[in-house]
Structure 1
Amino acid sequence: MTDPILLSETRGHVLVLTINRPERMNALSPDLSDALIAAFVDAGADPAIRAIVLTAVGDRAFCAGADLKARAQQDAEGKPFQPLLSRVQRYLFEVVYETVKPTIAAVNGPAVAGGMELALACDIRVAADHARFGLPEAKRGKGAHFANVMLPRMIPSGIAYEMLYLGEYIGAEDARRWGLVNRVVGRGEVLNEALRMAEAICRNAPVSLRRMKETAIRSNGLPVPAALRLNEGLSPYSSEDRVEGIRAYIEKREPVWRGK
C-alpha cells in the first residue's frame, strides 16, 4: 500500500497538512491538487479547526510547482492543457487564498513556480534558512497566473517584476527583507515555529479571526469607503465571544471561546 500524497494531522485546533511526494520534490500532481482543495474546503467548514499549517515532507523542497514530467507525458499523448480557471474543480491557489481560517505556510525547502504560488496563497509564511523562492515560468513558456496578480500586491512592484521577468531565485533572508516571508528559522525548525504561531492564533477568538480574514480578502482592491462597509460573516461585536473576551480580561483569566 502506497503512502498518501497528502498527510493530515489535527493538533488541538490546528490542522497540519503535509505534502508527501518527496521523490518528486513535492510537485503538484492533479491528484495532489485535488486532495489539497478538498482538505482546505473541509477545514474551512469545520468549526473545530481554527488555523491551518501547510508544509511538506523532508527538507529538499516545499513544493517544486507543477509536475512537469506528468505534463510532458500528457503533451506527448496529445492531451490539451486546460486553463486553470476553466476546469471542473476550483482553482487550487484561489481555494487556499479564500479559506476563512488563518493559514501558515511552513516552507521547509525551496518553493518554486506553483510551489511559490501555493505559499503566496497562505496568509503567513515561515521559511527555513535554506529555502529559496522563484518563479521560472518565463523560462518554461508558462504563465505564473496567480503570482502575476498577487506578487506585485505583496512586495515592491519592481522586485515582483524582476522575479517574474527574470525567473531567478531569491533566498529566504531576501524574501524576509522584502516582506515575502514573515520569519526565517533554522533547518528543521520551520514546522515548530509555524505551529507555535498557529497555537498562539488559536488562543484568540474564532469569530474575530474569521471576520479579520474574510474582510481582508473581500476588501482587497475595493475603495476604502466601500471596504469599511463590508459586513462579512458573523459580527464579533454582537457575538458571545466578545462578551466572554471582555469578561475574561476583567476577571484575569483565559477566555473560553465558543465561536459564536
Structure 2
Amino acid sequence: MNETHRHESGLVVETRGHVRVLTLDRPERRNALSTALQTDLIEELLACAEAPDVRAVVLTGTGPAFCAGFDLKEIRERDRRGERFRPPMSRPTRSLFEVVTETPVPTIAALQGAAVAGGFELALACDLRVAAPGIRLGLPEATIGMGANFGSVVLPKRIPVGIAMEMLLTGEYVTSEDAERWGLVNRLTDDVLPAALRLADRIAANAPISVRRMKETAVKGLELPLWQALRLDVGPNPYLSEDRREGIAAYLEKRPPNWSGR
C-alpha cells in the first residue's frame, strides 16, 4: 500500500510497501536543511526505526540539487538577531547525521543532483549511495568558516585519507564519477530514484531481522578490534528467530519466504 504526506518544513514522506521514501522538497532553497526540516527528518527516521514494516529508507530531493546543506539564510537571520550559535554536538536536540547513522533500518541516498556541505554529510551518513553522473559532491565549509564536524570524522573513514584531507582542507568539489571510483557511490545512473528504489526493494525482500542485525553489527563493529566486534551481539538475533526457520524451509522447498519479523 502506498501512502504520502507532506510536512510544512518541506519533507515529503511516502510509504511504498516496506520502503519509506523521505524527499527533501524545498527546490527553491536547493533543499537546504532548515531547523524545521532537520527536526522532521529526525522524527521520521525514529519512526522508521520503530516501525516493524519499514525495511529500507530512501532519502532523496526534488529539483536540481539533492541538498545544499544547512540553511545559511536562516543562520544569518539568527546571527542578526543576536542569537547564540551552538555547534552541532552542543545542541539540546540530536544531530541529524548521528540519527541517520544509528537508524537500524538500511538507508540509501538517491543523489539526483549536487550534495554539498551538510547535504554531502547527509549522504555520507547513509549506508548506500546512488548518484547521477557528473554531479558535484563536497564539503566547502572551510571556505565559509564552518566546521563540517560530521564530515571531518566520517569522510576519512569512507575514502582514502589523503583524498579526504584534500577535500576538507581545500573545500573543492569532486564529481560523482570520482566518488564511484573511490567506492563511495554504489551505483552511477541517469535513473537515480528508480535505481535506489530497486536496491531498497531488494533489501526489503530479505529477512528484516537479519538485515537490521547486519547493519547494526557492521556500523558498530567497524572501529572495534575483531575479537570485540565478533561478540557485539547487537540488534535482534536472527539465529534464534522464527524467520530463520522459515528462511531455511522456504529455500529447501523452493518457495518465497514469508517473513514474520520475529
Matched residue SS, 1:71: helix
Of 32, 55, 58, 1:53 maps to 58
Residue in structure 2 matched with residue 108 of structure 1 by the alignment: 112
Q: Superposed, which structure 2 residues align to 1:1-260 within 5 Å?
A: 4-58=9-63, 60-186=64-190, 189-260=191-262
| 2:72 counterpart letter in structure 1 | L
Moved beyond 3 Å, runs of 4+:
1-4
Q: Provide Cα deviations, 1:204-243, integer angstroms capped at 9, x if missing partner.
A: 0001001001111221311111111111122111111111
| 2:58 counterpart letter in structure 1 | V
Q: Provide Cα deviations, 1:150-190, integer angstroms capped at 9, x if missing partner.
A: 1111100011001101111111111100111111111xx11
Distance 1:2 1:16 in 2: 13
- CA drift of 1:135 comes to 0.4
Q: TM-score, normalised by structure 2?
A: 0.96
Q: TM-score, normalised by structure 1?
A: 0.96
Distance 2:218 2:172 in 1: 30
| 2:129 counterpart letter in structure 1 | R
What is the percent sequence identity of the aligned residues? 58
| 1:19 counterpart letter in structure 2 | L
Larger displacement relative to structure 2 (136-145 or 80-89): 80-89
Structure 2: unaligned runs, 5 residues or longer: 1-5
| 1:165 counterpart letter in structure 2 | L
Please say if residues 247 and 257 of structure 2, whose CA atoms lie closer than 8 Å, have aligned partners that are also in contact.
yes
Matched residue SS, 2:236: coil
Question: Measured at CA, do residues 82 and 3 of structure 1 come closer, stay the same or move farther in structure 2, by a change above 3 Å?
Answer: closer
| 2:124 counterpart letter in structure 1 | L
- CA drift of 1:137 comes to 0.4
- CA drift of 1:3 comes to 5.8
Distance 1:132 1:74 in 2: 28
- CA drift of 1:130 comes to 3.3
Matched residue SS, 2:36: helix
Structure 1: unaligned runs, 5 residues or longer: none
Distance 1:68 1:101 in 2: 30
Residue in structure 1 matched with residue 3 of structure 2 by the alignment: none
Q: Provide Cα deviations, 1:34-84, integer angstroms capped at 9, x if missing partner.
A: 0100010000100010000000112x1000001111111111111111121
Distance 1:10 1:20 in 2: 16
| 1:242 counterpart letter in structure 2 | R
